[in-house]
Amino acid sequence: MASDNRPTIWNIAGWLFGVLVIIIGILNLFLVHPVPGIAYLLISLIYLPPANAYFRKKLGFALPAIVKIILGIVLIMFTLGVSDLGDMIDKL
């Protein structure tokens, strides 16, 4: 098992996707509506490694990687496909 100090592919991917979801949340917050923006910001917590470690410590389990991957695909499809932010990106 890898130490928490060494970066692993899952930690790096978690940080990258977590930051991406935070950016989408901030854009939704200011450009679309506060409710989806806040939802994206809260969802981003499951991807960030420190928050994931906190949830594992407090709840005794963490979401499996496959659940995070499926949720990530759904988030990206929703953002680009049916959200108002996706429409704004298409108009650029």
Torsion angle in degrees (nearest 10) through CA of 41, 61, 64, 4 = 80
Question: 84 or 20: which carries more pLDDT confidence?
Answer: 20
Q: How many residues does the chain have?
A: 92
Q: E strands along the chain, which residues? A: none
The secondary structure of residue 15, as a DSSP letter, is H
Percent residues over pLDDT 90 in the chain: 26
For 62, half-sphere exposure in the C-beta direction (CA atoms, 13 angstrom radius) is 17
Give the pLDDT of residue 18.
93
Evaluate if residue 71 carries a pLDDT over 70.
yes
Give the pLDDT of residue 70.
93
Can you give the pTM of this predicted structure?
A: 0.78
Query: Letter for the amino acid at 31?
Result: L
